[in-house]
Amino acid sequence: MDSKYITIIDDDGNTFNYEIILAFYWSKTKKHYLIYTDNTYENEKLNVSAAIYYPNDETRLDEITTEEEWNEIAKKLGELNEY
């Protein structure tokens, strides 16, 4: 990911723009992950999403499906909060 932003088009053709918070590769799963936000807040907390992405196909995102992956995402977000 070279850009600070990503545009996602849903199945209905609606376009959504998001700011990339962090993109990283996790050697344990051999997958690339993307953490991003639309910069909106709910209950005073920033809305954040995450997905699996493919560096060779930036139009494709897959859902994160395992608790282990979500725990790694939470860990990465916690590390960012330390700064």
Round to whole Å and give the CA distance between 6 and 47.
Answer: 15
User: CA dist 58 to 5, 35, 41, Å?
Assistant: 12, 14, 26
pTM of the model: 0.86
Blockwise average pLDDT, block size 10, the chain, 83 residues: 80 93 96 96 94 89 96 93 71
Q: Is 72 in contact with 26 (CB distance < 8 Å)?
A: yes
What pLDDT, on a 0 to 100 scale, did the predictor assign at position 80? 86
